[in-house]
C-alpha cells in the first residue's frame, strides 16, 4: 500500500464557474489545477515563481481529468496535489478534487498534469533540468510505502 502527502488548496465554487445546467463546467477543473500548482510554488518554491518572470517557462505538455461526481455553486472543494513522477525536465502532478461536506469528503474528480521545464532563449525554448528549489519542494510529496509513512509519524 502506498501513501502520498498532499498539498491542499481549498476553493469555494462560484456561479461564474457553472454552466446552464448548474454544475461546474469541466474546464474549471483544469483552471483549479493551475491555481493549486501556483499556490504551491508561491509557498514552497518562490524562487521558481521569480524565475518565471525571467527566462524559465513551465510548459504544460499534458493534462487530464476524470469526473466522478458533480460540483455546484457554493460547494467547498479541496484540490489535493501530490507528485506523480519527476524525470529529467518533466514533473507530473496528481490531483484529487474533494467536495467538503460535513465530516465526509467526497471524491468528485481525479486529474493529472505534466509540465516541462524550459528556458526561453533568443532561438526559442530549450529543455532544462527541474530547478533544484522545485525538486527540494517536491520531495515531501513523493509516493512512499505506508510502512515508511507510519514510521515517520511514530
Q: How confident is the model at residue 142 (pLDDT cuts 50, 70, 90)?
A: confident
Q: Which residue has the higher pLDDT, 145 or 99?
A: 99
What average pLDDT does the segment 108-130 reach?
96
Q: Model pTM?
A: 0.87
Q: How confident is the model at residue 112 (pLDDT cuts 50, 70, 90)?
A: very high
Which pLDDT value is given to residue 144? 64
Which pLDDT value is given to residue 149? 46
How wide is the angle at C-alpha 137 spanned by C-alphas 2 and 63, nearest 5°?
70
Render pLDDT for 17-30 as a digit per residue (tens, 0 to 9): 999 999 999 999 99
E strands in 34-145: 56-67, 76-87, 90-101, 104-121, 124-127, 144-145
Alpha helix positions (H), the chain = 27-44, 46-52, 132-138, 146-153
Contact 65, 26 (CB under 8 A): yes
Residue 65 contacts by C-beta under 8 Å, 6 or more apart in sequence? Answer: 26, 29, 30, 33, 95, 109, 110, 111, 112
Angstrom distance (rounded) from CA 91 to CA 117: 8
Mean pLDDT, the chain, integer: 91
Cell 509557498, residue?
43
Count the neighbouring beta carbons within 10 Å of the beta carbon of residue 140: 13
Amino acid at each position: 500500500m502506498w501513501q502520498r502527502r498532499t498539498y491542499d488548496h481549498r476553493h469555494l465554487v462560484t456561479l461564474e464557474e457553472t454552466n446552464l445546467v448548474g454544475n461546474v463546467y469541466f474546464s474549471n477543473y483544469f483552471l483549479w489545477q493551475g491555481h493549486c500548482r501556483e499556490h504551491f510554488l508561491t509557498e514552497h518554491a518562490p524562487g521558481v515563481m521569480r524565475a518565471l518572470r525571467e527566462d524559465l517557462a513551465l510548459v504544460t505538455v499534458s493534462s487530464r481529468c476524470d469526473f466522478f461526481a458533480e460540483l455546484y455553486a457554493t460547494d467547498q472543494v479541496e484540490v489535493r496535489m501530490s507528485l506523480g513522477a519527476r524525470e529529467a525536465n518533466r514533473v507530473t502532478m496528481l490531483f484529487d478534487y474533494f467536495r467538503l461536506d460535513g465530516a465526509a469528503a467526497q471524491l468528485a474528480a481525479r486529474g493529472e498534469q505534466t509540465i516541462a521545464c524550459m528556458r526561453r532563449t533568443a532561438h526559442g525554448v530549450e529543455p532544462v533540468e527541474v530547478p533544484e528549489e522545485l525538486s527540494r519542494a517536491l520531495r515531501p510529496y513523493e509516493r512512499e510505502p505506508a510502512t515508511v509513512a507510519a514510521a515517520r509519524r511514530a
